[in-house]
C-alpha cells in the first residue's frame, strides 16, 4: 500500500502577498486609464480679453472627465496682438486704473464639447479683422485716419469696460463709412444715445429701474438734448420714488398685526 499523505496547501503569507499584488496592479491599471482619459478628453482651454488693459491671453488646464475634478493648474500665455499694443502705445486707449483687471471670456472649448462663446468675442472679431493683404484692418485704418481714431477707440474701450460689447459693431460700421472726424463724432454720439436708450427701455419693461437709470445717464452724456431720454428718465425716477414711499408702509404692517394679536389675547 502507498502511503497517502495530504499535500501541503499554499502558505498564508504567499496568499496574502498575491492579494496585495493583485490590488496594486488593479490600482495602477485604473490610474493609468484615468491618466490616459484625462489627457485625451480632459483638456479645457480658451481665450480671454481684458478691457482694462486691452490685452489678451490663452489658457488651458486638465480635469478628469465625467467627474470634473481639475488636476492641473491653469496655464496662461499672452496673446495680445499688434493692434492692441498699438492702441495703448499711441494712447488711443488709456489703461484703466482697476487694481484687479477684469478678464472677459472670448471663447472656451473642451474636448468633445461645443465651443462656448463670450460677448468679448465681438470685440476680438474687430481686433483680429484683416484686409486683402492680411494686415490688421483697424490698425491700418487708425494710421490712415488718426483724428477719427481718436473719436472711435475711447468709446469702444468704454463700452468694453461696461461689458456692453453688443453695442460695439455699430460704432465700427459708422467709422468705416465716415471719413470726416467731426461728422463721425456726431454720428457716434447719436448712435450711443440711441443704443443706451434702447437698453434702458428693456430694463424698464423688466421693472429694473435702477439699471435703467444708469443706462439713461450714459445716454444723456451722448445726447443731452434728447427728449425721449429725459422722458424715460422721469418714468424710472417716478417708479423708484413710488417704491421708496411704499416701503415704510409695508414694513409697518407686520408690527401692526402683532400688536393687534396681542390686544386680542389680553
**Residue 113 is assigned to a structural domain of this protein:** yes
User: What is the distance between the alpha carbons of residues 42 and 184, in angstroms, rounded to a whole number?
Assistant: 48
Q: Are strands 104-110 and 43-50 parallel, antiparallel or unpaired?
A: antiparallel
H or E stretch at 61: strand 55-62
Predicted confidence at residue 251, as pLDDT, reads: 47
Q: Are strands 75-78 and 55-62 parallel, antiparallel or unpaired?
A: antiparallel
Whether residue 102 contacts residue 53, with contact meaning beta carbons closer than 8 Å, is answered with no
**Residue 167 is assigned to a structural domain of this protein:** no
Query: Taking CA 73 as the corner, what is the angle to CA 67 and CA 78, rounded to the nearest 5 degrees?
Result: 125
Q: DSSP state, 134?
A: S
The number of folded domains in the chain is 1
**Residue 137 is assigned to a structural domain of this protein:** yes
Is 170 exposed, middle or buried, given 0-12, 13-18 or 19+ CB atoms closer than 10 A?
middle
**Residue 211 is assigned to a structural domain of this protein:** no
- Sign (positive/negative) of CA torsion 155, 156, 158, 159? positive
**Residue 15 is assigned to a structural domain of this protein:** no
Whether residue 5 contacts residue 21, with contact meaning beta carbons closer than 8 Å, is answered with no
Q: DSSP state, 94?
A: P
User: What is the distance between the alpha carbons of residues 82 and 172, in angstroms, rounded to a whole number?
Assistant: 18
pLDDT over 60 at 7, yes or no: no
Tell me phi and psi for residue 117, to 5 degrees: -110, 130
**Residue 158 is assigned to a structural domain of this protein:** no
Q: For 39-62, what is each residue's pLDDT tens digit?
A: 556 677 899 999 999 999 999 888
Confidence of residue 27 (pLDDT cuts 50, 70, 90): confident
**Residue 112 is assigned to a structural domain of this protein:** yes
Predicted confidence at residue 44, as pLDDT, reads: 79
**Residue 29 is assigned to a structural domain of this protein:** no
Q: For 174-183, what is each residue's pLDDT tens digit?
A: 999 999 999 9
User: What is the distance between the alpha carbons of residues 80 and 158, in angstroms, rounded to a whole number?
Assistant: 19
Q: DSSP state, 72?
A: S
pLDDT over 50 at 255, yes or no: no
Which domain does 115 fall in, by range? Answer: 43-145
Query: Taking CA 49 as the corner, what is the angle to CA 214 and CA 118, rounded to the nearest 5 degrees?
Result: 70
Amino acid at each position: 500500500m502507498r502511503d497517502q499523505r495530504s499535500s501541503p496547501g499554499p502558505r498564508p503569507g504567499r496568499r496574502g502577498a498575491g492579494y496585495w499584488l493583485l490590488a496594486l496592479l488593479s490600482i495602477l491599471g485604473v490610474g493609468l486609464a484615468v491618466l490616459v482619459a484625462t489627457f485625451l478628453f480632459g483638456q479645457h482651454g480658451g481665450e480671454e480679453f481684458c478691457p482694462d488693459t486691452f490685452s489678451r491671453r490663452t489658457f488651458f488646464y486638465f480635469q478628469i472627465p465625467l467627474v470634473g475634478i481639475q488636476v492641473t493648474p491653469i496655464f496662461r500665455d499672452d496673446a495680445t496682438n499688434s493692434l492692441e499694443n498699438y492702441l495703448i502705445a499711441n494712447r488711443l486707449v488709456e489703461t484703466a486704473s482697476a487694481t484687479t483687471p477684469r478678464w472677459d471670456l472670448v471663447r472656451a472649448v473642451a474636448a468633445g464639447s461645443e465651443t462656448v462663446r463670450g460677448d468679448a468675442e465681438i470685440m476680438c472679431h474687430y481686433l483680429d479683422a484683416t484686409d486683402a493683404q492680411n494686415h490688421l484692418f483697424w490698425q491700418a485704418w487708425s494710421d490712415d485716419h488718426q483724428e477719427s481714431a481718436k473719436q472711435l477707440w475711447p468709446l469702444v474701450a468704454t463700452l468694453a469696460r461696461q461689458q456692453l460689447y453688443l453695442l460695439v459693431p455699430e460704432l465700427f460700421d459708422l467709422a468705416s463709412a465716415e471719413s470726416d472726424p467731426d461728422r463721425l463724432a456726431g454720428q457716434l454720439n447719436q448712435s450711443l444715445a440711441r443704443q443706451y436708450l434702447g437698453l434702458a427701455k428693456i430694463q424698464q419693461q423688466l421693472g429694473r429701474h435702477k439699471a435703467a437709470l444708469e443706462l439713461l445717464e450714459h445716454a444723456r452724456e451722448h445726447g443731452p438734448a434728447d427728449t425721449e431720454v429725459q422722458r424715460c428718465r422721469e418714468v424710472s425716477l417716478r417708479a423708484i420714488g413710488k417704491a421708496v414711499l411704499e416701503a415704510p408702509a409695508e414694513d409697518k404692517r407686520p408690527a401692526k398685526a402683532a400688536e393687534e394679536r396681542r390686544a386680542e389675547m389680553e
